[in-house]
Structure 1
Amino acid sequence: MTRGKSQARPPWPVRMCVICRERFPKSELVRHVAAAEGEAGLAPDPRAVLPGRGHYLCANPACAEKFLKYSGRPRRRRGGSR
């Protein structure tokens, strides 16, 4: 017995654009991570080797324009406060 719809996984990693929320093969997206200390915003990481949570952006020019305003707010921590 299976729950929901059974879908086969694609043979490549899939990520979602942070702006349009569409899913693409990871190789078609550009990864951005938090900029180095002292700098604000997100910096591109074309080799996908920098540490931190990646924010992926598709090649759509409309998404690129909206991404300039995207703050990349950190996600709320779960659990107890420290």
Structure 2
Amino acid sequence: MMRNETTGRRADPTRMCVICRGRFPKSALRRHVAAATGDARLVPDPRAVMPGRGHYLCANPECAEKFSKYSGRPRRRRGGNGE
């Protein structure tokens, strides 16, 4: 990670909102992951410790409304047998 030159502290990582595609500090976004039950739902992960690919959502109310309809298409693993 890069360090901030003026304070010596680590820079906050940047993530992108899956709806508006805006880039924000990771701490300003809410993370969602696929439910452990295997269905296609995305559940909140407030502590950011659940396994799986995170989907980040900004605080914009319009993004929250669109996210309720977002499916979060599952991604295929690289190097696999196409499963």
- Report the CA distance between 1:30 and its aligned residue: 0.2
Question: Residues 12 and 38 from structure 1, CA distance in 2 versus in 1: closer, same or farther, beyond 3 angstroms?
Answer: closer
Give the TM-score taking structure 2 as reference length: 0.78
Return the TM-score normalized by structure 1: 0.79
Rounded Cα–Cα distance in structure 1 between residues aligned with 2:31 and 2:42:
10
Is there any run of 5+ residues in structure 1 with no aligned partner, and where?
A: 1-7
One-letter amino acid of the structure 2 residue matched with residue 67 of structure 1: F
CA RMSD of aligned residues (A): 2.1
Consecutive unaligned residues of structure 2, counting only runs of 5 or more, are 5-10
Please report how far the alpha carbon of residue 78 of structure 1 lies from its aligned counterpart in structure 2 after TM superposition: 3.4
Question: Among the aligned pairs, what percent are the same residue?
Answer: 77
Cα offset for 1:38?
5.4
Q: CA deviation at 1:36?
A: 2.1
Matches within 5 A, 1:2-81: 11-37=11-37, 39-79=39-79, 81=81
Q: How far apart in 1 are the matches of 2:51 and 2:70?
A: 20
SS at match of 1:33: strand
Once residues 80 and 72 of structure 1 are traced to their aligned partners in structure 2, the CA distance between those partners, rounded to angstroms, is 20
Where does structure 1 differ by over 6 angstroms across 4 or more consecutive aligned residues?
none
Amino acid corresponding to residue 48 of structure 1 in structure 2: A
Number of equivalenced pairs: 75
